[in-house]
Amino acid sequence: MPDHSPPQDARLAAALAAVGRRLRLLRALRGAVLGIWVGLAVGLAWVLAGKLGLVGDPLPDAWMPWAAVLAASILAGAAVSSLRPLPGLEELALLLDRLLGTDEAAVTAVGLPSEDAPADLVEALQQRLDEGLDPADPRIAAGLRFVPPRRTRLLPILVVALVGALFLPPLVGPGRHAPSDDPAAEAERLVERRSALERELGAELPAEVDQAFDDLISALRAGEAGRERAEKKAEELERALDTMKKGSGEAVAGDMEKASEALQDVDVEAAEDVEDASKEGDLEAAAEAVERMRERMKTRPPQEQEKAADALKKAAEEAAEAGADELADALQNEADRAQGGESEPSGGGGEKDGTNPSPGLPGESPDAGGRPGEAPPQGGQEGGDGLAEYLRDLDAQGLGAALGDAKTNREMANRMQAALDGLGQNPYEAAEGQPEQGRGRGGGKGGGGWGAGTTHTDEDQGSRPEGDQHRVMNRQVDGLHRDWLTEYGQDHEAKRLEGIQAVTQTVDVPIGDGPVDVEFMRRTGSSERSAGSLVQAPEGYREAADEAIEGEGVPRIYREQVKTYFDAIE
């Protein structure tokens, strides 16, 4: 845009100045309106924060600071807007022309070159401008109307929202939020908070956490701690509690696995039930499964009961070695119960209904008959808590949910590890080093490494071939029958293979008619994901056709035919 010098004509200059002043005034008004908008928005946020207990003094109690913010917003908006530099002379002249309807006479006048302008036409222009220009003409001042900023159309909504929010009840209870500055009140609030935590947990807080709460409450009551410190400390305690619960969940998950493994040699059905229940985080169901096992145990021959007791004892010893003392005790007691079932008809203290076997024989186990100092089991039976009671005790501590989380985390970790193990393995190494890997592991499966194919399976022979190569082949072929849906998904998770090496080897195996050709394929390049999987290809074609039709601008009357053509290609 060329730089224009002030017009020579004083009337034009005065008119442009009047337009400039009016423009500045209107801008200040717009800025003030924006300031109102901002102030109301701050007020609304303030009210909502007060309802949420995030600020100490919500509106309307704290109207003074808010009014100050509102006033400051208005003043700042007006000042900033009015101080913005005015547009150039050309822009002002265009505005003047629009106001006066002078057909761009003003903008032509301010843009006239100082020389070479045709004098006769310049004179004609000046005459024309004089007819329309009068600085005292109110049209110049009044022509420019105030246009509110677009976003201020929301002002009424904002006002209604603000008023409505003022009448809202507090969105959170005073127990957790809206802390006061009074330490004594804060102490009472902490007491409520501790009770709420205990209710949530379903058990008493751990001793160290409980003690910390007590100390804090005492400090508050004695005026030795402020509100902020109390709030911070309480949050730390809650976090510590969460961490403890998570740690307990991990430990319980480990115990449950051990228990399930121990029961494998005792009662397979109970072992499966316990495993399923632990996956669900349902400790009560696990306890019931153990009780059902006890019922079944009573109907078994003495030899089997003896064998089960031995297995449980062995598991108890292993648990003790692993540091799970409580589980070890429970398993030991369960072993005693199993043996007690055998001797129930002659055992002392046992009930005829058999719901609780009598304690084990003295001298068989140091823990037989229950731990010293513990109350006897319900029903007046002697002996310590068994596995069912141990599980119920854990459940009472609210560790069922933590157990579920821990299980989930552990399973996910196992799956990820299996997936990682399956990447890039050489089948020979895998066969030698990990001959019995589980599902999802091993070379040739998953995304990389080796793959093999053959025309025979060892299932045809009904026997397992010997030798490393045979094991490799066997494992690959097994994989084909494992989970065809998973295989299909993996195969169609499209990958671009670059640099494939295929090696065909003849393997002398005693199956079928003799040697079997096995082709190993090795991908030497790195894998790279394609833009989409195979199953997305038809849809991709359709979208490409639609885009082509849109992009080429096919006339409407031909579009159907063009679409038919693309459909035919597809």
Residues that bind other proteins (CB under 8 A): 1-2, 22-23, 26-27, 30, 86-87, 90-98, 103-105, 107-108, 111-112, 117-125, 128, 144-147, 553-558
CB-nearer residue toward other proteins: 95 or 335: 95
CB-nearer residue toward other proteins: 27 or 51: 27
| Residue 568 C-beta: closest distance to other proteins, Å | 22
- What is the C-alpha to C-alpha distance for residues 131 and 144, in angstroms, rounded to an integer? 20
Name the residue type at position 257: E
| Nearest CA-CA partner of 179 in 209, 220, 215 | 220
CB-nearer residue toward other proteins: 87 or 424: 87
| Residue 9 C-beta: closest distance to other proteins, Å | 14
CB-nearer residue toward other proteins: 147 or 568: 147
| Residue 94 C-beta: closest distance to other proteins, Å | 3
- What is the C-alpha to C-alpha distance for residues 374 and 393, in angstroms, rounded to an integer? 14
CB-nearer residue toward other proteins: 153 or 464: 153
- What is the C-alpha to C-alpha distance for residues 231 and 335, in angstroms, rounded to an integer? 49
Q: Mention every residue, 6+ apart, whose C-beta is less than 8 A from residue 312.
A: 262, 266, 331, 332, 334, 335, 338
Q: What are the phi and psi torsion angles at 88 (to 5°)?
A: -70, 175
CB-nearer residue toward other proteins: 127 or 414: 127
- What is the C-alpha to C-alpha distance for residues 463 and 511, in angstroms, rounded to an integer? 9
| Residue 90 C-beta: closest distance to other proteins, Å | 6
Coil vs helix vs strand at 511: coil
| Residue 110 C-beta: closest distance to other proteins, Å | 8
CB-nearer residue toward other proteins: 86 or 494: 86
| Residue 544 C-beta: closest distance to other proteins, Å | 19
Q: Which residue in this structure is represented by tokens 């089997």?
A: 304
| Residue 135 C-beta: closest distance to other proteins, Å | 18
- What is the C-alpha to C-alpha distance for residues 68 and 62, in angstroms, rounded to an integer? 11
**Per 3-state DSSP, what percentage of the chain is helix, strand, and coil (rounded to 5)?**
65, 5, 35
| Residue 27 C-beta: closest distance to other proteins, Å | 7
| Residue 74 C-beta: closest distance to other proteins, Å | 19
Q: What is the enclosing helix (H) or strand (E) of 20?
A: helix 10-51
CB-nearer residue toward other proteins: 89 or 162: 89
- What is the C-alpha to C-alpha distance for residues 106 and 119, in angstroms, rounded to an integer? 17
Q: Mention every residue, 6+ apart, whose C-beta is less than 8 A from residue 449.
A: 422, 423, 424, 425, 426, 427, 443, 522, 523
| Residue 30 C-beta: closest distance to other proteins, Å | 8
| Residue 92 C-beta: closest distance to other proteins, Å | 7
- By DSSP bridging, strand 516-523 and strand 500-507 are antiparallel
521 beta partners:
451, 502
452 beta partners:
520
Q: Specify whether the CB–CB gap between 101 and 94 falls below 8 A.
A: no
- What is the C-alpha to C-alpha distance for residues 369 and 336, in angstroms, rounded to an integer? 8
Q: What are the phi and psi torsion angles at 182 (to 5°)?
A: -85, 115
CB-nearer residue toward other proteins: 26 or 52: 26
Q: What are the phi and psi torsion angles at 452 (to 5°)?
A: -140, 150
Q: What is the dihedral of CA 299, 300, 302, 303, to 10 degrees?
A: 180
CB-nearer residue toward other proteins: 81 or 469: 81
CB-nearer residue toward other proteins: 488 or 558: 558
